[in-house]
Chains A and B, each alone.
Chain A
Amino acid sequence: MLQAFAFYLFAALVIASATFTILARNPVHSVLWLILAFFNAAGLMIIIGAEFIAMLLVIVYVGAVAVLFLFVVMMLDIDFAELRASFMKNFPLGIAIAAVLLAELVLGIGAWQSGGLELGTASGEAAPLLGRSNIESIGALLYGRYLFLFESAGLILLVAMVGAIVLTHREGRAVRGHQDIAKQIARRPGDATVNTRPESGKGVTL
């Protein structure tokens, strides 16, 4: 009963915030609605028992990807007047994409009408381990059976990191006064001050 209440709450909020993501005129508002949609999707994931996926949604999507989207939106420097002017120019393309989406919807509803889908039951090695939590089952599969795929995922992350650095980092800016902390700490008062006894009329040589 409470589970159904939570499901309908989260599902309605997901759909509502997704709608506002599309309808919002300001792209920044769109991103904020998208973050709300991510949060509610995490709630739905918890209801079906996928705690780890819910955690990933909140940590990775809300915490990192949404911030990245916000950066992109802020960085794009969108000119709204120009956007509205090109609306008529891109109108045929928009109509074509809308037609494709409508065809997909019709096909999907038709497939749904033709009978229930046989998704099968989870069995074999992909089934969640008995008496273990969801996150333990994921860990056992990811680091046991699919460990090479996991390593290649790590390599892809490495490539993404190196690529981002190569694309955005500009050389030459790093040339500047460099702070050598070890040198600063190793400095003693004796190195910093020199006592001299200049003779009168000679001055000091440093």
Chain B
Amino acid sequence: MVDLSQYLPILIFLVIAVGLSAAFVFLPMGVARLTGAHKPNAEKLSEYECGFPAFEDPRSQFDVRFYLIAILFIVFDLEAAFLFPWAVSLDLTGWPGWITMMVFLFELAIGLAYAWKKGALEWD
């Protein structure tokens, strides 16, 4: 069973982070609402000086190669995640476990070689 008390600092950190960020967001909003005049109109809410009206919808179709990179990232991310339990349990699994992981790594190395050879890792 996991000793949960070692996660206590993370929980404390989380509570402090959430509290601080909530304070930074909502405190100025509340203070401004309570102390200032709130009379918005179209001119006040429009962009000025540093902002400019958006030219087009930000959601446009972009290159499918981003998707390919993301898929490859997921595959190798999983490969790395599988290495953690393998590394800590090697004394239990022994040589069969070691060979299993080497075969697994070889399988994905074939995929990497294929991607490299096809030029899928290049961007022009």
Contact = CB atoms under 8 A, between A and B. Distances in A.
Given A142-B85, A161-B72, A71 B66 contact: yes
Nearest to A166: B118
B100 A147 contact: yes
B85 A138 contact: yes
B31 interface: no
Interface stretch (B35-43, B47-55, B107-115): B107-115
A49 B2 contact: yes
B68 A169 contact: yes
B81 A59 contact: yes
B104 to A, nearest CB: 4
B119 A64 contact: no
Contact of A139 (B71, B73, B86): B86
Given A56-B81, A157-B111, A150 B104 contact: yes
A8 interface: no
Contact of B71 (A6, A49, A74, A161): A161
Interface in B78-122: 78-82, 84-90, 92-93, 96-97, 100-101, 103-104, 107-108, 110-111, 114-115, 118-120, 122
A47 interface: yes
Interface of A: 2-3, 6, 28, 46-47, 49, 51-52, 55-56, 59-60, 63-65, 67-68, 71-72, 74-75, 77-78, 129, 132-140, 142-144, 147, 150-151, 154-155, 157-158, 160-162, 164-165, 168-169, 173-174, 176
18 contacts: A46-B7, A49-B1, A56-B81, A60-B74, A68-B70, A71-B67, A77-B60, A78-B59, A133-B2, A140-B93, A143-B93, A143-B97, A144-B96, A150-B82, A162-B111, A165-B118, A168-B68, A174-B124
Q: Which 9 A-B pairs have the closest CB atoms?
A: A139-B89, A139-B85, A143-B97, A174-B119, A161-B111, A164-B71, A64-B74, A140-B92, A154-B104
